[in-house]
Structures are given as structure tokens and as C-alpha cells.
Structure 1
Amino acid sequence: MDTIGGRWQAIKASIEAAALDAGRAPDSVSLLAVSKAHPASAMREVYMLGQRKFGENYLQEALTKQAELKDLAIEWHFIGPIQSNKTQAIAQHFDWVHSVDRVKIAERLNAARSAELPQLQVCIQVNISEENSKSGASAAEAIALAGHIRQLPRLSLRGLMAIPAPTADPAVQQAQFREVRNIYQTLLAQGHDLDTLSMGMSEDFPAAIREGATIVRVGSAIFGARIKSTTSTTE
């Protein structure tokens, strides 16, 4: 049945199958439902099926939805590019931020995170394909940034996030995700306590899972087509 609930169930089954195919436990990969440009009512529908993690790109849209869905125990993930003037609101209203890509943003999030809240869970965004149109740190920058974030008391570095260049070739997809995993392994070897690889979207998550993804970000395959307000995507 072509409904939000039916598509959500199908994606969950596909993620479990991809994990098993990769020799991993089905519950080692979690689904982040990317709800940008979709109404709060659609989020509520998926929530009632059991989805708890939702990803948003645009701050004002997310804040509006948070007000509408304040009765639900949603884990809110910010996954879009971060402007400096948005860091205070992001730090106060989200549980996770996947798109930290420079020291300035990390420091501003740390300063804005209230001591009454748990540490903000963060991932460093890596621009593995070195595309000018995408945010993200280079491999060397990511390694240096990880060392800096470790010194910030209100942030907890969990791992890496990446949005590789789109391709329909599974071998190329997997090679790009392998590069992200290699950076992750380097950070582990340096003593960073990491557990998260946020990579893989609607079209390529099986390849990401084969390379160790722990969070896959899926939106259109669940919620359907959306009207895009920008040319960049993180889902």
C-alpha cells in the first residue's frame, strides 16, 4: 500500500535486510526520518508507528513543528548547514547536530548549550567528495576539529556525517562511504570515543550500511516527494 505508514515499514525492512546482508545485527542501524518540507501531521503519523528520530534542515520550519508536536517524545536531529546566527537556537532546541564542520560553529554551539540540558550530541560533517556546493570539512580538517570538540564540555562528539556525490553505481557509492569509515577509524585510533556514522540516504543506504553506517537518513522514500526550497540536500 502506497501510504506513509506502508513506505516507512518497507524502509525499516530494507534497512534490516541490508544489515543482515552485511553480516550485522539488524538493530545496529537506526533510521533517521528526514521530515524537512513535510507537515507535522505526517511526522505524527510515522511517530505513532514507532519512529522517534526525526531530522530537520531548516531551523524556523523545525521550531514550528516542535511547537506543534510538543506532546511527542521526539529526538530532534539538525542535519542542515549551520549559519553562525542560528547556533544559539539550534543548541537549545535539538538533541543532535550532524553538520558541525568548523571550529567556530562548534564553539558557538558549546557556548549556547544550556547547562540544564544534556550534552549536545554532535557529528562532524565530512565533505568526502570535495564538492564546492556542499558543506563539510576535509579529512584533515575533520581530524583536527575532532580534537578541538573534545575540549568543549557542552558537546559530545559521537562520530561523522557525510553526503557523498550522488551516483547510481553501487561500487562508487561504497567506495565513497569507505573513505568516511577510514577517517572514523583514524579517529578511533587516536582515542576518540565514537559510535556513529551518519551516512546513507534514500538511494544509497544499502552501500552505506555495508561500510558501517549506524544512522541512515531517509526522507522522500518515506514521506514522498517534496517541494525543494534550496538546491542542496542532506537526505
Structure 2
Amino acid sequence: MATIFTALQDVQARIDTACTAVGRNPAEVKLLAVSKTFPASDIHALYQFGQRAFGENYVQELVNKCQILAECKDIEWHFIGPLQSNKTRLVAENAAWVHTIDRLKIAERLSAQRPQHLPPLNICLQVNVSGEASKSGLAADEVIALAEQVVKLPQLCLRGLMCIPESSHDSTILAQQFSVLVQLKAQLQARGLTLDTLSMGMSNDLESAIAAGSTLLRVGSAIFGLRHYSS
């Protein structure tokens, strides 16, 4: 597992360098290791190296890994994929975070199905900052209304906003799209919502995301390598 450990160290070094370049404290930026399609053994290896937050895109894969790694009590599971209403209970029972809320119905189901003995489920609203039809998420002008509804739901804690910008190597385009999330967070805070999370930045654009103000990076391929898909 030396390779995966080296990759994790390399990503952490990139985060440190990017933070230093813009005068930020690296402690302000959390690394979420996106482990979708990779085996629980890889997660356990990174856990032993000190990584605690892991992201999954598929509900059944999340549940399976939670069961396999049940002895790792302080793993923080983040669900970062599209969520259908018939799968909300499994996510409510197993995840600590959900990043992809863009409908009130899904938030209401998660709230109702979150076990009372667990802490509130941390929620991010997904915003379509690029305007691409292929991307999920709220339009910018829909965010405030949904946020003010979600924040009232019991057993949920609205933490912030998430986005997936268009795939681009143009730092100007990325900065513009990340700034949409930054501005929306400021608008929500001005309305009295106590948000602390901007979930933005992945393997290829984490430097731009850090420069824009990201507090949570979702990094997969730079740590785990190419995805493994079953036939």
C-alpha cells in the first residue's frame, strides 16, 4: 500500500502549497477521499495512515463498506452521488454527510428517516454553477428558497454548498464558477444561516478551488488512481 500512501501525501502537499500561495491555513481545508468503486481494503489502508473522511457515490456500496469497516468507529462517511427517494433511508442510517441535495422531498425524507440516536445529518445543497444540462443541482436563484426550508428540518444540519464546475483547465473559468458558490454562501449567511462549508474542488482543480475559498475537497483519482468498474 506504499503507492496509495504516497499518493495521499502528494495530495496533502498540493493542498499545503496551494494554501500557502493564497495565504490560507491548510487546517481550514478538509480532504475527502472519494473511494467509490475501490475496495474496503484501500479505505482501511488510508484509515491506518490517518485519513478519516471518505466519499461514496452509490448507496449500496456505501452500505457495504460501512458494514465491512464497522470496527473503524470514527470513519466519517460522505454520500456524494445522486440520491433517489427510495434509497434515502439507507443513506440517512449510514452517512454523516450528504452533499447532493437539490430537492426538498429528498431532504424531508432524510430528516424523517435519520435515526434519533445519531447526530443530525450534515447537508450541503448542490448548485449547478456551470449551467450545463448534464449536471445536477439547483440554479443559483433557487438556492436561498431551498436553504431556508431545509434549515428548518429536524435531524438535519445545513452546513453549506457543493458544486461540480465544468471540466476545464482554464483557471479563469473555474474561478468564475467557484465564485458563484462563494457569493451564495455569503448571501445565506447574511440571512442568518450559519454555514461553514464550501464543498468544491477535485483532483484536477483543487488549487483553483482552494484559491476561491473551498473548505472541503473531494479527491478520488489523485489518491486511488483510475476507477475500478465491475462488468
TM-score range, shorter chain: over 0.9
The code of the aligned residue for 1:149 comes to V
**TM-score (structure 1 length as normaliser):** 0.95
Aligned: 1:57 with 2:57? yes
Question: Which residue identity lines up with residue 6 of structure 1 in the other structure?
Answer: T
Deviation at 1:2, TM superposition (A): 7.4
Instruction: Say if 1:33 and 1:218, in contact at 8 Å, map to a contact too.
Output: yes
Counterpart in the other structure of 1:232: none
CA distance, structure 1, for counterparts of residue 102 and residue 172 of structure 2: 27
Whether the aligned pair in 2 keeps the contact of 1:19 and 1:28 (CA below 8 Å) is no
Q: Please say if residues 197 and 215 of structure 1, whose CA atoms lie closer than 8 Å, have aligned partners that are also in contact.
A: yes
Q: CA deviation at 1:213?
A: 0.3
What is the letter of the counterpart of residue 98 of structure 2?
A: V
Aligned residue in 1 for 2:127: 126
Task: Tell me what 1:21 maps to.
Answer: 21
1:116-155 equivalence runs, <5 A: 116-155=117-156
CA distance in 2, matches of 1:62, 1:221: 20
1:55-90 per-residue CA deviation (whole Å, 9 max, x = no partner) reads 000011111111111111210000001101011111
| Aligned partner letter, 2:10 | A
| 2:15 corresponds to 1:9 | no
Question: Structure 2: how far apart are the matches of 1:162 and 1:18?
Answer: 19
* Residue deviations 1:83-119 (CA, integer Å, cap 9, x gap): 0101111111100001111111111111111111110
1:201 maps to amino acid: M
State the distance in 2 between where 1:131 and 1:71 align. Answer: 41
**Aligned residue identity for 2:210:** I
Conserved in 2, the CA contact under 8 Å of 1:126 and 1:162? Answer: yes
**Is the aligned partner of 1:223 residue 2:197?**
no
The AA in structure 2 aligned to 1:222 is: I
Structure 1: 5+ residue stretches without partners: 230-235
Q: 1:227 deviation in Å?
A: 3.4
1:143 positional shift: 1.1
* Equivalent residue number for residue 66 of structure 2: 66
Which structure 1 residue ranges, 4+ long, deviate > 6 Å from structure 2? Answer: none
**Distance (whole Å) between structure 2 residues aligned to residue 42 and residue 114 of structure 1:** 29
For 1:62 and 1:107, locate their aligned partners in 2 and report how far apart those are by CA, in whole Å. Answer: 21
**Cα distance per residue 1:131-177 (max 9 Å; x no partner):** 22221111121111100011101110000000011101112111110
Aligned Cα root-mean-square deviation (Å): 1.3
Alignment of 1:1-235 (within 5 A): 3-72=3-72, 73-228=74-229
CA distance in 1, matches of 2:229, 2:99: 20
How many angstroms apart in 2 are the aligned matches of 1:2 and 1:169? 33
Q: In structure 2, give the amino acid aligned to 1:133.
A: S
Letter in 2 for 1:141: E
- 3-state SS of paired residue (2:159): strand
Name the CA distance, whole Å, in 1 between partners of 2:212 and 2:2. Answer: 30
User: How many Å separate the matches in 1 of 2:127 and 2:31?
Assistant: 20
Whether the 8 Å CA contact 1:7–1:221 is kept in 2: the answer is: yes
